[in-house]
Structure 1
Amino acid sequence: MRRKLRVAAYAVCVRDGQVLLARSPGPGGVPEWVLPGGGMEHGEDPYDTVRRELAEETGYRIEVTGLLGVDSARHVLARRGLRAPVEQHGVRLVYEGRVTGGELRHEVGGSTDFAAWQDLDAVSALNRVRLVDVALRLWRERPAAGRMP
């Protein structure tokens, strides 16, 4: 089985009791909410990745105010046709960010199609990826090791 490592950086931006999220078409076309962020380009620093990705997906510029932690997950991705499955290992750096400029807008032609501020109390009712919960827990609890048990 082929293996692939993907390193990505995401931001938790909270203000006035709301968190900034982006919406992805999701598997099977069922939309799901994700943290703004994404994969690093070769040679790119993760600090620059999170600022670039957040701007692409939301229109905002941010100041990175801290590193909340790291999340790691492995998945086997089935491929269609003759291609063999791929074991993907994702390493996700989760930063805290503060919006410093720009205007909220939706990404066009990217991995997300909508961006919005969501009430923190309402996140549990949203169709969302696991990383949203992990990141919000890192933001709330701020574990010294930067990792949730």
Structure 2
Amino acid sequence: MSVSFIRRIASPKKALTAAAVAAATAGMALSAAPAQAAPASASSAQAIAKKMIPDAAQFNAFSKIVSHESGWNPTATNSSSGAYGLVQALPASKMASAGADWKTNPATQIKWGLDYMNSRYGSPVKAWSFWQANGWY
């Protein structure tokens, strides 16, 4: 057998082996990475709020505010003011008082929003009345 023939056979094997090692390494790296949660949908954020706000009138008022402010998008960001999240907190970092996952967890944002509406206005219904009169809350 000639050396050139052996090289032609060996080269594809080396390439295949290198590709297999690279794929295995990439696979190991991908499997070692933490899974990222999918962003919450508007309907799942609404379902969370409905569980957290059992009173229908309070939920409806909260829902109207959130619909106007963020369209139930937990990552909604106002480009001019920096307000963020379902309830458009400003500064956004205020929501950290409700939980470290405030940037991504609708339940944390809802909890903070409810606390804010209750402490500032007395209830989501009263916050909605203010919003209707002023276009903000």
TM-score (norm 2): 0.26
Kindly indicate whether structure 1 or structure 2 has the higher relative contact order, using CA contacts under 8 Å at least 6 residues apart. Answer: 1
Bigger CA radius of gyration: 2
TM-score (norm 1): 0.25
